[in-house]
Every structure is written in structure tokens, then in C-alpha cells.
Structure 1
């Protein structure tokens, strides 16, 4: 007797609902692997949670209440940097899972495959960063963090095009811009392990942004409109403020982001 395969939507929902970091990392990797190996069917019978599971720590603060992180090379400053990066990657697991689970039925199996692969990457990034934090005598959750990234997801939960325009193509693309300077600072501190982690993350994030561009183009084609004009209009409607230069033109171009649209959104 053949055992019926469960729907991928249920597995994504369970991963989103996981609270502890190790639990969420393992669940994200498992759903990506099970989907890739054909152990799950394409099905979305249950709605995604409005808010993903979160551990008791870190304490989540509004962005304007976050303590300032010094730019110096003190141990405290280094821990604050790596903790902030770990938090970004932890939330990014849920952003990719929610993208696949919330919009997968509408966008199709290829979309699910691509964003589950992104979620697995983000889980790996988090593990690397948390491990590095521990070599500095700290851990994820030891410092407060802000919840601005998930708020952007909540604000675009009604529209896949808006989510694609803001999350991968603005928020993740911001990582392409700021990582080179962070990498230079880490290299100057003599942190070879940290530098390799950042190089790996930057390479992966270029691909992740490219996935966002790919599917916004699909949305634009469905809507019969120009992808650049659609991106500009969605960002102006759903993202507060302008994009902040300097921009990593090389990485953005590799990811397929329009440099002219980027500059239009910076003004």
C-alpha cells in the first residue's frame, strides 16, 4: 500500500510555526529537501500563519529603539555586528518560507522550488553566523533585535508582486550594497572566518535577488506591463522612503536589477 504524500503547504506551515532556531533551521532544510525529492505533493490547503514562530530571545524592539552599534573593532562591537547579521538571516528563513507557502498556489511549482531553495540557503547562513557568534563568546538571542523585516512581509501579504518588489528586490538587495564595506571591515580586523562567511552570503544573495527579479517579471508579463515601471510603482506604494546609495552596481546587475530603476527609486 502506497503511503499518501503530504502537501507541501502543510510542511511549509509547520516550518514557519517552529519557534526555536535549531528547530526552524532543521524544518526549513527538511521541507526543501522533501520537496526536491518528490516526497511532498503540490497542495496548499491551509493558510500560512500571520506571524511565524519566534524564540523567546532575542527581545524584539522597534527599529528606533535599537541600541547603536559601534563601528569599532571592540569585542562588543563585533558581537553586535554578527548578532545583527544572524538575526537578518534568521528572519530571512521565514521570509522565503512564507513566500513559497503564501503565494505558491498562485505562482506554481517552480516558484515553490526556488523559494524553498532560498529558505534552505538562509538556514545555512544562520547556522554559520550563529556558530561564529559562539566563537566570540556569545550566541543568537543574547542581544535585542528589530522586527522591521517581517513587518515588510506583513505589509505585502496580500500581493505577490508587492512582496517580490519589496522583500527580495529592495531589502535583500540592500545586502548587496552594504556587504562589501562590512567585508572590508571584517578583513581589516583579521577575521578570516567571518570574511569567508560574508563572501558566501553575498554570492548566495545575488542569486536570491535574481529569483525575485525573475518572478516579478512573470507578474509583469501576466499583467501586461513593463517590469521596471511595475517595480518602481510597487516600491513607491509599499516601501517607505527612498533607496539609499551607494549601490553595488556590479552585484545588482548580476542579479538582474535595473540600475536606472534603482536610481529612480533613490530620488
Structure 2
């Protein structure tokens, strides 16, 4: 089996069931075999995200504000936004394996497991969207995560710093805040279903960020770099100084962040 051809097919497909089938095939293969890469293999630069065939992509500033969760449409816009993040995360996890073939087998297995988790998260949210009378693609989306993946395609160190250690870690800050806003509406069974989904996603995303942290530190050690290069990378991508009202100290520590880093990111205390 050439897992790189299979991964490419999975990344390009907009069919979630095909993505799932191909991801399972790759993980099963990697659990039983060492993967050898042909010398002529060159990962492709993808021109557009796989969801481009389903979704209307707009500038993030053009996205409608999500405030009214008392209506089916209002709740659906929130579910859609989270589903879009999870869908994007599937392709990012698959691309982490596809784009950096020089990384160890453990790395490949880690990100294929993450891709499986993200598929499951997406399918939970897609089911909820359908229950609300909508489907993925009914609301506009932005392609910020796809762009971030493109910008870090040249460096696995920068990919680990930016995707899991910045964007996914930011999700750990935001997720509990969304659940808190919804809590007084949990008598609505669909709201409760969303809160339950958020809880599952939150706990599993800690592990995803931890995997990103593990491989970021592995690469720093391998390349003889100080782990503080994380902040240099954030500066390079103009991500330092972004307003962070809620730093989730507990979750970030579980995911491998040091208190020194958490404080530098804007937390008032860390113990």
C-alpha cells in the first residue's frame, strides 16, 4: 500500500465517509508496517481546501455574528462554525502525515489517530446540524486553517507550533466559554446534545494538543533549538499579542505547556 497516494485521495475528497474509510486503511497499515517513502515522492501543494466544493468561502470579517442561540438558525450557525473547524482539522491531521514523510512512525500513527477523532467529532456535529434542519455548507466559512497549513508546509517544526500548539490550544481556551454561554439553555435537547459534543471534543483536543507539543519538543531537541523558539515562530506569523481573554491554564498544562509559556501568552496566574 502506498499510504501517500491514499492520504492524498483522503485530503482531496469532500466525502466524509470516504475520508473515514481511507484514514482507517492508513492507520491499520501503519500499525502493522514500516512506511518506506519513494525518493521521488514530493507532496503536492493543494490549491484549495476539500470543502471548497461544499462551502462558500469568505473573508473572516464577512462572517455573520453568532449571538442568537434561541432559534434553530442561530444555534445552527454555531454548530456549523464548530463543525467547520473539526472538518478542517481532519485534513490538517492527514496533511501532517502526508507532508512530512521523514517523521517517525509514531508521529504518523499519532496524527492518523487524531484524524479519526476529528472525523468522529465532525460527524457528531453534522448529525446535530441535520436535526436542526441544516447541512454543512449552508453557512459561509473562512479558510484560515487551510491558509495556516499552506504557510507552514515547508517546516514540520512550524506546523507543530502553529496548528496544534497555537490554533488547537486556543480551542481549549474557547470551548468551555461556549459551553458556559449555552448552559442556561440545556433544557433544549439539541442544546444539551451540543454541550455534550463540546465536552467530548474538549477532552480529546487536550490529547491532540499534547501530541503537537510532544512532536514540537522532539523537533527542538533534534535540531538543537531552545523551546522558546515557539514565541519567535508566533511573532513571525504575527500571532503574538492577539487578545486572549480566557487562557485555560489547567488544560494547557495537561497538554504540555509550561507555566512560563502560559504566562507569556497572557494568563494572569499559573500554578
Give the TM-score taking structure 2 as reference length: 0.89
Map residues 16-165 of structure 1 onto 2, 5 A cutoff: 16-38=11-33, 41-43=35-37, 45-51=41-47, 52-103=49-100, 105-165=101-161
Q: Structure 1: how far apart are the matches of 2:68 and 2:167? A: 22
What residue ranges of structure 2 are gaps of 5+ in the alignment?
Answer: none
Q: Structure 2: how far apart are the matches of 1:20 and 1:242? A: 38
Q: Structure 1: how far apart are the matches of 2:248 and 2:230? A: 18
Q: How many Å apart are 1:133 and its aligned residue?
A: 0.9
Q: Structure 2: how far apart are the matches of 1:112 and 1:106? A: 10
1:199 match: 199
Q: How many Å apart are 1:65 and its aligned residue?
A: 1.4
Q: Structure 2: how far apart are the matches of 1:142 and 1:87? A: 11
Query: Contact 1:17–1:49 at 8 Å: present in 2 too?
Result: no
2:223 pairs with 1:223: yes
Mark the CA change 1:183 to 1:29 in structure 2 (over 3 Å): closer, same or farther. farther
Q: Structure 2: how far apart are the matches of 1:33 and 1:61? A: 37
Q: How many Å apart are 1:158 and its aligned residue?
A: 0.7
Which digits, 9 at most, give the CA deviation of each residue in 1:158-183, with x for residues without a partner? 11111110100010001100111111
Q: Structure 2: how far apart are the matches of 1:74 and 1:239? A: 37
Q: Structure 1: how far apart are the matches of 2:62 and 2:164? A: 25
Q: Structure 2: how far apart are the matches of 1:78 and 1:91? A: 20
Q: How many Å apart are 1:239 and its aligned residue?
A: 4.0
| Secondary structure, aligned partner of 2:90 | helix
1:7 match: 2
Query: Contact 2:30–2:105 at 8 Å: present in 1 too?
Result: no
Query: Contact 1:156–1:162 at 8 Å: present in 2 too?
Result: yes
What residue ranges of structure 1 are gaps of 5+ in the alignment?
Answer: 1-5
Q: How many Å apart are 1:210 and its aligned residue?
A: 0.3
Q: How many Å apart are 1:13 and its aligned residue?
A: 1.2
Query: Contact 2:179–2:198 at 8 Å: present in 1 too?
Result: yes
1:3 match: none
Q: Structure 1: how far apart are the matches of 2:102 and 2:35? A: 15
Q: How many Å apart are 1:188 and its aligned residue?
A: 2.0
Q: Structure 2: how far apart are the matches of 1:162 and 1:28? A: 24
Q: How many Å apart are 1:241 and its aligned residue?
A: 4.5
Q: Alignment length, in residue pairs? A: 259
Give the TM-score taking structure 1 as reference length: 0.90
Mark the CA change 1:183 to 1:33 in structure 2 (over 3 Å): closer, same or farther. farther
Query: Contact 2:231–2:240 at 8 Å: present in 1 too?
Result: no
1:247 match: 247
Q: Structure 2: how far apart are the matches of 1:11 and 1:137? A: 33
